Amino acid sequence: MQDNPIITLTTDFGYKDPFVGVMKGVILKINPLVKLIDITHGIKSQDIREAAFVIGTSYKFFSDNTIHVVVVDPEVGSGRRPIMVNTDHHYFIGPDNGVFSYVYRFSQVKPEVIHITADHYFLSSKSPTFQGRDVFCPIAAWFSRGIWMSKFGDPITDFQTIAIPTPRLTTEGALRGEVIHIDHFGNAITNITKSDLDRVHGPGAGGAISAMLKGREIPFRRFYAEAEKGKVCSLMNSMGFIELFLYRGSAAAECNISVSDAVEITVSVQ
């Protein structure tokens, strides 16, 4: 590993939970040179889908060889496997419950995945409720010290994934997708991306973009402050996804939006 390696943490613990500090203590006791970065501890409790989206859209902003620990683990203590993933010059450690599905889906190379079995690196081999502390963090710390990935377990190909919805083209020529994430501000992020628009209409095709949600037409804007006060609009966000928003308000609350709600995007022909 690189000098002064980075380990990120993503959990559903909540920022005031002492377990967050305990996990950091376990890592630093093994490797005091590690730089620890919190991506978030605000994932909704046991929400694997939200955690998968967050880590899948966050990791590429970190330097190569960053180690990402994700602990959103409703089945902790059961037969589900602890795993380590290597792809896109990044490493991921967490439960085999689909939490790395976006990483698998959008990685540029075939992921290498191992089932972590080398319990002599664990803080405790019996951990019915807190494998973040006893398994994932110790493995991340030892790996940051230069232990080879292959020393932690054996390769697997049957790792678990969750279904990631893909936009489809309707007979009317609209892109039909759905809301996949609602953020802290009540912005509703869809699974329709700039790449999807380019694929259907061609790069830089132009034309007015509009969204349709629950029978409500939602105009497109370039940035938040361009929207009329009190009017729900859409834009292409900084991650490349179409997003529904209410300037200085919550689009999710205004339109009663939930994850999985259908959204259609149309582009008028110039």
Helices 18-30 and 137-144, axial angle in degrees (round to 10): 30
Phi-psi region of 146 (alpha: psi -120 to 50; beta: other; left: phi over 0): left
pLDDT at position 247, please? 95
pLDDT at position 102, please? 96
Give CA–CA dist 37/187, Å, rounded.
Answer: 25
Is 270's pLDDT higher than 90?
no
Helix, strand or coil, per DSSP, at residue 90 = strand
Tens of pLDDT, residue by residue over 155-199, are 999 999 999 989 999 888 889 999 999 999 999 999 999 888 887
Mean pLDDT of the chain: 92
Please, how many CA atoms are within 13 Å of residue 199, restricted to the half-sphere of its CB? 10
Mode of pairing for the β-strands spanning 90-95 and 82-87: antiparallel
Domains of the chain in start order, with CATH, are 6-155 (3.40.50.10790), 168-267 (2.40.30.90)
Give CA–CA dist 160/148, Å, rounded.
Answer: 23
Is 154's pLDDT higher than 80?
yes
pLDDT band at residue 2 under the 50/70/90 scheme: low
Is 49's pLDDT higher than 90?
yes
Query: What is the average pLDDT across 44-54?
Result: 96
Tens of pLDDT, residue by residue over 76-129, are 878 899 999 999 999 999 999 999 999 999 898 999 999 999 999 999 877 787
DSSP classification of residue 132: I
